[in-house]
Structure 1
Amino acid sequence: MTWLITGGAGYIGAHVARAMTDAGERVLVLDDLSAGFPARLPADVPLVEGSALDGDLLKRVCAEHAVTGVVHLAARKQVGESVAQPTRYYRENVGGLATLLEAVAEAGIKRFLFSSSAAVYGNPDVDLITEDTPCAPVNPYGETKLTGEWLVRAAGRAHDISTVCLRYFNVAGAAAPELADTGVFNIVPMVFDRLTRDEAPRIFGDDYPTPDGTCIRDYIHVADLAEAHLAAARRLTGADASGDLTVNIGRGEGVSVRELITVIGEVTGDGRPAVVEARRPGDAPRAVASAALAAEKLGWTASRGVRDMVESAWQGWLLHHGG
Structure 2
Amino acid sequence: MKILVTGGAGYVGSTLVPMLLEQGHKVRVLDNLRFGGQGLLPCCQNRFFELMLGDVCNEADVKKAVDGVDAIIHLAAIVGYPACKKEPQLAQAINVDSTALLLANRNADTRFLYASTGSIYGSIPDYICNEDTPRAPITLYGETKAKAEQLVLDAGNGIAYRYATAFGVSNRMRLDLMPNDFTYQAVKNRNLIVYEGGFKRTFVHVRDMARSFIFALERWDEVKDDVYNVGHESMNFTKEDVARKIMEHVDYYLHFAEVGTDADQRNYEVSYEKIRRKGFETTIDLDRGIAELVRAAKLISFQNPFTNV
Q: What whole-Å deviation, never above 9, does each CA across 1:281-311 have from its counterpart, x for those lacking one?
A: 4524x422211111123x1111211011111
Alignment of 1:70-85 (within 5 A): 70-85=72-87
Query: Does the aligned pair in 1 maintain the 2:168–2:293 contact within 8 Å?
Result: yes
Counting strand residues as a fraction of each chain, which structure ranks higher?
A: 2
In the alignment, the residues of structure 2 paired with residue 68 and residue 170 of structure 1 have an alpha-carbon distance, to the nearest angstrom, of 29
- Structure 1 residues 322 and 280, CA, compared in 2 at 3 Å: closer, same or farther? closer
What residue number does 1:308 align with? 288
Query: Does the aligned pair in 1 maintain the 2:14–2:39 contact within 8 Å?
Result: no
* Unmatched tracts of structure 2, length 5 or more: 304-309
Q: 2:54 aligns with which of 50, 66, 69?
A: 50
Q: How many angstroms does 1:128 deviate by?
A: 2.1
Q: What whole-Å deviation, never above 9, does each CA across 1:120-172 have from its counterpart, x for those lacking one?
A: 1111234421101110101111111000011112222xxxxx11100001111
Equivalent residue pairs, number: 297
1:252 maps to 2:233: yes
* Unmatched tracts of structure 1, length 5 or more: 157-161, 207-213
Query: Does the aligned pair in 1 maintain the 2:69–2:110 contact within 8 Å?
Result: no
Q: Which amino acid aligns with 1:198?
A: N
What residue number does 1:173 align with? 168
Moved over 6 A (4+): none
In the alignment, the residues of structure 2 paired with residue 221 and residue 166 of structure 1 have an alpha-carbon distance, to the nearest angstrom, of 14
In the alignment, the residues of structure 2 paired with residue 322 and residue 141 of structure 1 have an alpha-carbon distance, to the nearest angstrom, of 28
Equivalent residue of 1:19, what SS?
Answer: helix
Query: Does the aligned pair in 1 maintain the 2:186–2:252 contact within 8 Å?
Result: no
Mean Cα displacement is larger for which, 195-204 or 162-171?
195-204
Q: What whole-Å deviation, never above 9, does each CA across 1:260-300 have from its counterpart, x for those lacking one?
A: 11221222x3232224142224524x422211111123x11
Q: 1:186 aligns with which of 177, 181, 190?
A: 177
Alignment of 1:194-213 (within 5 A): 194-198=185-189, 200-206=191-197
Tell me the TM-score normalized by structure 1. Answer: 0.85
- Structure 1 residues 130 and 291, CA, compared in 2 at 3 Å: closer, same or farther? same
Q: How many angstroms does 1:90 deviate by?
A: 0.8
- Structure 1 residues 125 and 191, CA, compared in 2 at 3 Å: closer, same or farther? closer
What residue number does 1:229 align with? 213
What residue number does 1:120 align with? 120
What residue number does 1:211 align with? none
Tell me the TM-score normalized by structure 2. Answer: 0.88
Alignment of 1:20-99 (within 5 A): 20-40=20-40, 42-43=43-44, 44=46, 45-63=49-67, 66-99=68-101
In the alignment, the residues of structure 1 paired with residue 65 and residue 181 of structure 2 have an alpha-carbon distance, to the nearest angstrom, of 37
In the alignment, the residues of structure 1 paired with residue 282 and residue 39 of structure 2 have an alpha-carbon distance, to the nearest angstrom, of 27
What residue number does 1:145 align with? 145
The RMSD of aligned alpha carbons is 2.2
